[in-house]
Structure 1
Amino acid sequence: MGFTWGMRLRGASKKKIAPVMSWSESTSEPDITIPPEFQCPISIDLMKDPVIISTGITYDRTSIEKWIESGNNTCPVTNTVLTTFDQIPNHTIRKMIQGWCVEIGSSLIERIPTPRVPLMPCEVYEICRKLSSATRRGDYEKCEEIILRIKKLESESEKNRNCIIENGVALVLCACFEKFSGDDKLTSLLGKILSMLTWMVPIGWEGLTTLASASSFRCIAGFLSSKDDTVRENAALLLKEILSLEETQVHAFAEENGVAAAFLELIRDSVSSSATKSSLTAVSQMVLQKPEIASAFLEIGLVNQMVEMIIDGENSVCERALAVLDAVCETSEGIEEVRRNALVVPLLVKKILKVSEEATRSSVSVILKLCKTGNASAVEEAVRLGAFQKMFLVLQVGYGEETKEKATELLKMMNRQMKVMSDDVDSLVDFKYLKKPF
């Protein structure tokens, strides 16, 4: 026994058609025709969540939202320009549809459940107000209750999540985190806030500045040593965002709280691709903003670890590991440490034009730093590994001006070295035209 979907004309041929479900002749159950007033004018299907728009026409919420999200600003039925995109639940029609589903009592039609009404900005503002009030009072139990409610609302739909993100919840959560960050007994609450903030990134300058306070930063740094890998990953992501701030005290906090060792341990543990990438980005930010912190990283084997990442990591990880080496080479100590690893230059030459534009930029930059600060042997090694040809390709591909300038400088250095290495001077290229990158 089976059934087929069909369409039945109602009245004249120009009138709308109504969906029909019909059993095969072997069954005694009659055909089911969905009443026109229960059909969405867009999909012609039974409405599950009927809503009224500003023109007074009722549609299924999913259908009208797709219509609006596609860039339309008119009513599909009347073609009238919409004065607002608000959608008001049509409870009367919904109840009628639910009653009809029960009345026909067919296995073909399931009763339409009462839909959850999407979160509105005014509701989010009220949630923020209550959370701010509880935070000021130091009422952590009320804060946790509100945070669990936010988490529940977010999990219900993508629309709710976007509404939460767009209406200032992140800033209030940052303030709440800062308020209780000094209490070791509230790690559960703080962990929940940390988890919520990760899906709200980017959380804005004001929120990051709040998290960059001494107590908040130390608390987040402490989570890097958690036994829960998810918590460690969340902490790494937020610290990466905080470290993007160009504020001296942030990087001082990082050095003081052993963040260097914690990040490197997180990278070695390979908790997740996301945690690794966040950690690598944070490390390069720390070294660039506070070069003296490079010593702490070098002492715990940063360069060797980066070489492993470049060899074994996926492209996005490799790109970030190369950026770390470039940052480390901003210091003389870092350059010497990089030079001591015999695999670095071969890997750098190999990765040019193979991973991404950013990876090529970092590779060219590191090679130039090594050649400028070393003796002729550094340039000779680069030439023997094929860097000369790669620099020509970099110029032809059309990367950024900074990268082309560095490639041009390397070509000139390599050309001079090749003249020393070769007896056939006439076969070499005249680089007078390379005064400016092309």
Structure 2
Amino acid sequence: MKSPVSLCTGVTYDRSSIQHWLDSGHDTCPATMQVLSSKDFVPNLTLHRLINLWSSKAPTKSPALAPAVSEEKVRVWIEEIKSGKIEMCLDSIVEFVSCGELSRRFLVSFDDFLEAIVGVLNTNCDQIRVLESVIRVLSSILLENGVREKLHKLVFISNSNCLPSFISVLRNGSVEYNIACVTVLESVTMNNQSKQFVAGTQDVLPVLVQLLKTENDHQDLNEAVMSFLISVSITRSIKTRLAQLGLVGALSNMLLSQNAAVSVVEKSLKVLSIICTCADGRSAISVDPICAGAIVERLMKVSKTATEDAVVVLWSMCCLFRDEKAQEKVARSNGVAKVLLVMQSEVGEGNVRMMCSDLIKVLRLGCKNGGGHGGMVSYETKTTHIMPC
């Protein structure tokens, strides 16, 4: 496996293999033959880390064979970190946390270890190898009990100048460490205040959007970045900034890519459904030459939730805000037929069915009036279930 993901049945598969199975028309779990209630994937992060360690020839010893490290030795490590001599012990720490759950649990039992290791990120360290190793250690211990909460306090209260180090890794680190960095960032931004702080930092959003534009073949990285963007897009100003940074263009390319994993496509639709609630987001979708058509193309080819997200975007653009450019692009992409298919499927229920009905009225009315322009003034939708922020 290179990219392990779990189905709703709890069984883990390699992403490409299970995607091929589902794309071939199957709706069951190959191992259990249960009918899938959802075709959504959940990345198996723990297994993914173990695979990366094995493939990079890192130590893969069982906890029983882990190198013996005493409490005194950990105290020495902590003092070396605090005194600025982290390079003396960093390789040993990375090896130790790679040995298994018992090793990680033992290490994080020292409260001042977390404080010391996070403090490295607060020292304006310019050695990318050191920063990458610190991020690797943090990503390895994230799942240990209470670590996320402690890291949240350390990053945003005790060491509020950590973000430049995260940004340095995102700019200069390898893809593997980019993923780890985004994962740690998302894990520690646990409330609205921290999310606004991270998103409001000058360079965080630009570097993440740039990663989506330049590293679009790395599915795991794309998925990690979009999960983070979904998490932090909680205010109009954040959504506006994402639109101004050119996020819509990057998402459109992913929707059209034949190589994009379904999970990446679905997260792209989720992000679009979020940013279309702000004026700059709608404007970016409107002027993008491929976005509306790419959304139509993905209808009924993704999960129920993602199809709902796609319908929300189309309805917002074409019905709620009456964007004539979007109406024309949707109509030219065989939008009426695709929306009718959604209505006739199990997705077309409740609010989704109402939005589809509105879309068909708008698109048919536009066709009768010469391409989606003349008749729109007289159309008044009664649908009020979704309103912009």
Q: In the alignment, what sits opposite 1:353? A: 300
User: Cα 1:193–1:127, aligned 2, differ >3 Å: closer, same or farther?
Assistant: farther
SS of structure 2 residue aligned to 1:355: coil
Larger deviation, residues 179-188 vs 333-342: 179-188
- How far did 1:140 drift? 3.8
379, 402, 406: which one aligns with 2:351: 406
316, 333, 351: which one aligns with 2:280: 333
User: Cα 1:174–1:318, aligned 2, differ >3 Å: closer, same or farther?
Assistant: farther
Contact 1:365 1:406 in 2 (8 A): no
Higher relative contact order (Cα pairs below 8 Å, separated by 6+ residues):
2
- How far did 1:219 drift? 2.1
Aligned residue identity for 1:151: V
- How far did 1:275 drift? 1.9
SS of structure 2 residue aligned to 1:289: coil
Q: Normalized against structure 2, the TM-score is what? A: 0.63
How far apart in 1 are the matches of 2:302 and 2:170? 29
Q: In the alignment, what sits opposite 1:151? A: 94
Whichever of the two has the greater Rg, that structure is: 1
- How far did 1:376 drift? 8.0
Q: Does 1:161 align with 2:100?
A: yes
Q: How many matched pairs?
A: 300
Q: In the alignment, what sits opposite 2:132? A: 191
Aligned residue identity for 1:299: Q
Contact 2:82 2:116 in 1 (8 A): no
161, 174, 196: which one aligns with 1:251: 196
Q: In the alignment, what sits opposite 2:116? A: 176
1:268-279 residue pairs with structure 2 within 5 A? 268-270=213-215, 272-279=218-225
Q: Does 1:223 align with 2:134?
A: no
281, 304, 307: which one aligns with 2:227: 281
Contact 2:77 2:89 in 1 (8 A): no
Aligned residue identity for 1:281: S
SS of structure 2 residue aligned to 1:276: helix
Q: Which runs of 5+ in 1 are unaligned?
A: 1-114, 424-433
Deviations 1:241-282 (A, max 9, x none): 334x22324423432231121012212221732222212222
Runs of 4+ more than 6 Å apart = none
How far apart in 2 are the matches of 1:305 and 1:355? 19
Contact 2:149 2:188 in 1 (8 A): no
Percent of aligned positions that are identical:
14
User: Cα 1:390–1:179, aligned 2, differ >3 Å: closer, same or farther?
Assistant: same
Deviations 1:94-150 (A, max 9, x none): xxxxxxxxxxxxxxxxxxxxx987168xx7893896278538x82343x55554334
How far apart in 2 are the matches of 1:281 and 1:408? 27
Q: In the alignment, what sits opposite 1:204? A: 148
Contact 1:310 1:318 in 2 (8 A): yes
Contact 1:364 1:406 in 2 (8 A): no
Contact 2:269 2:310 in 1 (8 A): yes
- How far did 1:328 drift? 1.0
Deviations 1:342-394 (A, max 9, x none): 42222212212213334213212211211333338556764664545544544
How far apart in 2 are the matches of 1:420 and 1:299? 30
222, 245, 262: which one aligns with 1:300: 245
User: Cα 1:173–1:225, aligned 2, differ >3 Å: closer, same or farther?
Assistant: farther
How far apart in 2 are the matches of 1:407 and 1:362? 9
Contact 1:307 1:343 in 2 (8 A): yes
Q: In the alignment, what sits opposite 2:83? A: 139
Q: Normalized against structure 1, the TM-score is what? A: 0.57
- How far did 1:194 drift? 0.4
